[in-house]
Each structure stands twice: as structure tokens, then as C-alpha cells.
Structure 1
């Protein structure tokens, strides 16, 4: 089985522009943002509620806690919300408020056209179909998470820090996510 392809920030920006022509662009953009900017698994994204990302004053939180029943490890996990993800949440909150007028903190953050919560499988299928529609081959719902981890590694972030941000138990798991290409290798040897 082929590994999911990673996207550079430039490719992601082009993809975000392409998304604008399709229905539910703001919602779909936020789904992608959670994987690329937060390193979330698609199943974790599907289970998010408003209360996970905004406080009682509807301000975006600095970090969110994923409940044990919503994570792969079945343990509660902390995810930091960086500036890029924060901006995406703010934009989506503005869009959602205009469309539905009221945000109920207990409701799912991302909803289907029938206003129900996505399952992990249905969200995975949606995102994979969007990537295909935009002409991105080998890009899957897991590409964002792989891109998140690779981008951190390319910025020379300590491997243990990356492991913790990826919420992996073993460093070897994190290392399998990091993609290496010829340009990176050329840049590395120039450092000598």
C-alpha cells in the first residue's frame, strides 16, 4: 500500500483556493486545517464539538483536550491550537454563526448537509473525494497528519517534541511519518 502523499505549504495554499469553488468550502477547509495544522487524525476531527475548540464566551481556546473515547490510544490527549488553526476556527465560527445564527457548545463542530455529525468513515470518504476532485493523487485524509509531522521535522524540531505533538507512544512510529526527499538531503549536506 502506498503511503499518503504529503503537501507543502504552497501546495496546501493552492488546494485551499481550489476548495472555494465547491459546496461547504469553509467546513471542508477547517477539516483539512485540523489535520495539517493540528496533526489530528480524521476520526478525531469527526468527533469534535464546539466546546472542544471554544470556551463559554465563544473565544477559541489555546489548547483542546481530546477525550479518551475519541482517540486512537483511548487516553485523553492535549492538542495545542496554533495561530494558523486558530484563524481557521475563527473563520469557520463566523461562517457558521451567519448560516445557523446560534452556536450550541454541545453540538458537533462539523456537520453534514443533513445537520448530523460525521462518522470517521464518512468524513474520511468526503475528504478523499475532495482531494480527488481537486486532482491530487495519492493525497488522502491521512496526508495532513503526515504533512504536519514532516513539516515539524523539516524545521529541525526535536524528535521527542514531534512525538509528543503527534501523540505517539513510540519515536519509531513518528519517524515512519517523516518523508525525506532529495532537496532535503541536498540542503542537509550543505550545512557541513
Structure 2
């Protein structure tokens, strides 16, 4: 994986390496992640059915032994505290993957439709906003500028810039009107400040 790895990602990689037997302390020590964060992630994985306790603790001081039950690959599972998949950010993941698969050009409505699944529906507004930001950072190119607005308008058409593919994790639009690429571990585009507004 390129770019910086999150704590969760580092934990997951060590869990996969120790798949047949590990403790909280093993994982925290090998990843240099604090015990509280490690414990919280292990609890999420256990509740989500990814890991299972493999020993019976006889004494209160005995450490729980775990083993990996479900390996979903390189990417660390994104789970809530109760073990449910995190939905936030999934729309951008789906759009990023869909754009890479598409061979030709597309508009925001087509992208929203193609990227939607039964679990996560991508709204056309979210697709339009994401494409606008990705175009600023050069991840997509405008191949035909849109004309007009509303029912009679023709939306802009885009094409994915394959030379800008940095990895599987989608570039994230941040509240500060910037784009952070987790594959590179850095901000790749920032909206210029209009000094007239200050």
C-alpha cells in the first residue's frame, strides 16, 4: 500500500500475519498502537465476526487468545463499535472504483447510477460534487462542458485520468475545500483563498 497507513490498517496487517493465535498485547506491541485503540478495534472485529476468542480464560489475569475467522483481504475492515460496516465514505469508494472500470466518458447522473448498489445508493448531487472536485485535482478531465441547467440542460461529460490513479482508496473531499489522497498520504489540491473576501 502506498501512502500512510492508519492505525486500523497496521493492526489488521499484524492480525492477518498472526491469524492462528494472538493476544491484545501481541498486536499492540507489534504495531506500536496504544492498548485502548487496539482493544476497541479487536472488539469491533469480534462483534463483526472477523476474529474469535480461541481460549477459555480461567483466571481474570489470563489474556484472551484470538484467531482470525474471516479474512477479507488487504484492506482493514471499517467497522462501528458494534461490528457493523461503516457506511460513511462508501459512496466515494464506489464512484472511485466505477470510474476506473468505465472505459469511456460519463456524466454525473450516469456515474451515480452505475456506482449505486442495493446497500449504498449514490445520489446524483454527491456524484456531481465529487466529479467537480476531482476535476480540480486532475483525477478526471472534462471532455464536454455542460450547457444550461434544469430539465433542458446537458450535463458535463468526464473521463477518468488513468495516469492519476494512485491506488484503491478514493481521494477524499474535505470540509476545507481540499482533496486528500489517502494512497499518497497528502493533500493534492486546495482551493485558493480569495483575499478579497478577507
TM-score, normalised by the number of residues in structure 1: 0.27
Q: Which has the higher contact order (CA 8 A, sep 6+)?
A: 1
**Larger strand share, 1 or 2:** 2
Question: Which one has the bigger helix percentage?
Answer: 1
TM-score if structure 2 supplies the norm length? 0.26
